Structure 1
Amino acid sequence: MSSPSQSPKVVLITGTSSGIGLAAAVAAARAGWTTVATLRDPSRSGALRKAAAEAGVELDIRRLDVTDEASIRSAIEGVLADHGRLDAVVNNAGSGHLGTMENESVAEVRKVMEVNFFGVVNVSKEAMPHLRAGGGRLITVSSVGGVVGQPFNEAYCAAKFAVEGYMESLAPVAAAHGVSVSVIEPGAVATEFVANVGVDLEGAVAEAGVYAPQLGAYLNRTIAQFSDSAAQTPEGAAESVLKALTVDEPAFRLQTSDWARGFVATKLADLDGSAVLGLTNTWIA
């Protein structure tokens, strides 16, 4: 094995079976990184392998379940054993969720937090000693929903808000030891995300009770936002991940499109919350 100073930098990316994770894995490999592309279910790696072959790049594809600490430890130990270093981690794995307080259980909310927040914490905690050893980078794919709360996304936005608060708090501590921390904030991306929410949309409206009119309006607006014609491509969003990996001094917060920048800016300039609520109220009218 070559010495760490001579070998290519190594990045581990979670949630690479589709969407931004898949595109980021291919982009990182194209940029010369040794790319460890992980996913919970390796039997779903077909699209990832096809994309790598079409791009003419090699990926090291491994299993990693962000909700299983033993799986995380095994994956990272395997990377160190086989590659001798870990220079960056991209926390991309996550799942969507649709629901509102009265119509879902606390157990469902806990599950959303487990995947989207504690999964990020689990992976980051295991990786941090190795990132610190080499002055590495910790990158987390958040969402504009990590800045702006959105109707019928209470649990999902809560998890993403938690991710952003955690990472923003960690950033100066990590920087003091040579590790840069960044969050990536996509808006609507033309991926399988909406389908992966796993909800029968017509059934959800039928069962929404008093919230049915608002949910129907929200879904009509959201489906239009995630249509292929309106949404950003996964490859476009992955450019921000690659930027966080490669620029000399990456920003803490990177939006993936002009639309996302404008949307997030509404919140960051909104001291009393009226601008955000004035906007999101129109989504369910």
Structure 2
Amino acid sequence: MTPDTEPVVLITGCSSGIGLRTALATAGAGLTTVATMRDPDRSAGLREAAAEAGVEIDVRRLDVTDETSVADCVGAVVSAYGRLDALVNNAGIANTFPTVEMTDMATFRAGIEVNFLGVVAVTRAALPHLRAARGRVVTIGSSRGLIAQPFNEGYSAAKFAVEGFMESLAPVAAGVGVTVTMVEPGPVLETAFAANAGVTRASLLADAGPYAPVLEPYLDWVVRTGWPGAQTATEVAEVVLRALTEPDPPLRIPTGDWVREYAGRKFVDPEGREILALTRSWLARPEPDGAA
């Protein structure tokens, strides 16, 4: 991405977390930054952070589930700046838990709509302009799209779909001059993502029905292990900036050593036996001390 003028990047889901920090990073690096969100009334945090950093960010409305909103936003950006050099697909929701039998289909579909089809819709709208600029598509993936998380079928399925979509698109897009990259974070701190899910341990167990005896040891495992490999949203944003600016980024960029090792377990396990054993171990009750 080496235009004669400042590159223009459009980022989705910028009201908090990775999107907010990525907008600050790209603006600080001299890219013309268009930060979008479904509800611009939630932009106060971004605007304050931009003012503190001394950078300019163009905040616009974009609802990734509304094709008219997507088309209007992309069209307005190109009209305003004459070009679009890069897209960062970041918008997502955490409508996870409980397991699929205990979830209504409307909730399940809503997650797929935002976390997968929203990525498809915005990428589709941006591609004609990215072809013209020989630009880039950078998409925030997840370690949950590489190894699925128990009780997280909807989110994991959407992220797996994003992986397949981008891996399939990448060689096609490269043929017309567009680079496709997935940024693969693990657990991310300093984000409203988990809080937006609106869940607690008690509410999860109450909603789990017959699956509560399986869920409880998993929640205990989460408490015991914490969040290995956790990073800040700022650290992930630095990797996104790398994907936007380095000459030849790979298809996937793990955001740290933990994610790289975690992903490696999947790609050397073609039959899925090790992965299933790993994820099933998360649901097992620990043996009492002194047990044989």
The question of a shared fold, defined as TM-score above 0.5 by the shorter chain, is answered with yes
**Amino acid paired to 1:28:** T
User: 2:203 corresponds to which residue?
Assistant: 203
Structure with the greater alpha carbon radius of gyration: 2
Change (3 A) 1:222 1:28: farther
SS of corresponding position for 2:122: helix
Unaligned runs of 5+ in 1: none
**Amino acid paired to 2:48:** K
Unaligned runs of 5+ in 2: 285-292
**Amino acid paired to 1:198:** G
Q: CA deviation at 1:53?
A: 1.5
User: 2:182 corresponds to which residue?
Assistant: 183
Which region of structure 1 is more displaced relative to structure 2, 211-220 or 16-25? 211-220
Superimposed CA distance per residue, residues 174-220 of structure 1 (whole angstroms, 9 cap, x where no aligned partner) = 00000000111110000222111223431220231221132223334
**Amino acid paired to 1:211:** Y
Q: Is the 8 A contact 2:147 2:266 kept in 1?
A: yes
Q: Is the 8 A contact 1:225 1:231 kept in 2?
A: no
User: 2:262 corresponds to which residue?
Assistant: 263
Q: CA deviation at 1:238?
A: 1.1
Superimposed CA distance per residue, residues 5-38 of structure 1 (whole angstroms, 9 cap, x where no aligned partner) = 5431000000001111111110111111000000
SS of corresponding position for 1:259: helix
Which region of structure 1 is more displaced relative to structure 2, 112-121 or 94-103? 94-103
User: 1:29 corresponds to which residue?
Assistant: 27
Which region of structure 1 is more displaced relative to structure 2, 230-239 or 53-62? 230-239
**Amino acid paired to 2:218:** Y
- State which of 62, 73, 76 in structure 2 corresponds to 1:75: 73
**Amino acid paired to 2:167:** E
Identity %: 53
Say whether residues 1:57 and 2:36 are aligned partners: no
Q: Is the 8 A contact 2:182 2:253 kept in 1?
A: yes
Aligned equivalents of 1:143 and 1:104: distance in 2?
A: 22
User: 1:216 corresponds to which residue?
Assistant: 216
SS of corresponding position for 2:204: helix
Change (3 A) 1:265 1:166: same
Moved over 2 A (4+): 4-7, 198-201, 216-227
How much is the aligned-residue C-alpha RMSD, in angstroms?
1.7
Say whether residues 1:164 and 2:166 are aligned partners: no
Q: How does the TM-score come out when normalised to structure 1? A: 0.94
Change (3 A) 1:35 1:223: farther
Superimposed CA distance per residue, residues 69-96 of structure 1 (whole angstroms, 9 cap, x where no aligned partner) = 1111111111111111100000000011
User: 2:287 corresponds to which residue?
Assistant: none
User: 2:289 corresponds to which residue?
Assistant: none
Count of residue correspondences:
281
Change (3 A) 1:192 1:221: farther
Q: Is the 8 A contact 2:239 2:255 kept in 1?
A: yes
SS of corresponding position for 1:62: strand
User: 2:90 corresponds to which residue?
Assistant: 92
User: 2:45 corresponds to which residue?
Assistant: 47
Superimposed CA distance per residue, residues 79-120 of structure 1 (whole angstroms, 9 cap, x where no aligned partner) = 111111100000000011222121112222211110101000
**Amino acid paired to 1:277:** L
Q: Is the 8 A contact 1:188 1:226 kept in 2?
A: no
Aligned equivalents of 1:256 and 1:127: distance in 2?
A: 25
**Amino acid paired to 1:38:** T
SS of corresponding position for 2:84: coil
Aligned equivalents of 1:216 and 1:11: distance in 2?
A: 43
SS of corresponding position for 2:46: helix
User: 1:247 corresponds to which residue?
Assistant: 246
Aligned equivalents of 2:161 and 2:47: distance in 1?
A: 33
Output aligned runs, 1:96-135, within 5 Å: 96=94, 97-135=96-134
